[in-house]
Amino acid sequence: MNIIKKIVLWIIGLTITGIVLVILFALFGNYSSGERAGQVIKMSKKGYVFKTNEGQLNTGEIQQGIWNFSVKKSEPELLEKLRTAMNKGNRVTLHYDEKYVQIFFLGDTKYFVTKVEVLGK
């Protein structure tokens, strides 16, 4: 009976460890990183319970000219730069990380802006 108890505890421990590793991977792992240039046309705060910061970038392409992105709450300086560039009509280059999955309490997209470069008009 003692050996069965040890096996069950090992299985429970491995399962919990696996779940924790998957959650950490989803939160901190990046599928890709890149840049997009255009003009910020919308910034908003969305959500009923978890308020997230969402934006849209007009890249000027004919087919898919609007790109949706999110900004983490822990990046207030990025939000301010984006709002200022949007209000002044400046073009920007947005550096972003793409997550493997969308994380509902961080944002509505898989794309999280990490840096903003203001280019001018």
pLDDT tens, position by position, 93-102 = 999 999 988 8
d(CA 46, CA 36): 23
Looking at residue 1, its pLDDT comes to: 66
pLDDT digits (tens, 9 = 90+) for 16-66: 999 999 888 888 888 888 999 999 999 999 888 888 999 999 987 777 788
The two structure tokens encoding residue 62: 């004919």
Looking at residue 12, its pLDDT comes to: 93
pLDDT digits (tens, 9 = 90+) for 64-110: 788 999 998 888 899 999 999 999 989 999 999 999 888 888 888 99
d(CA 40, CA 117): 12
d(CA 95, CA 4): 52
Domains of the chain: 30-120 (2.40.50.860)
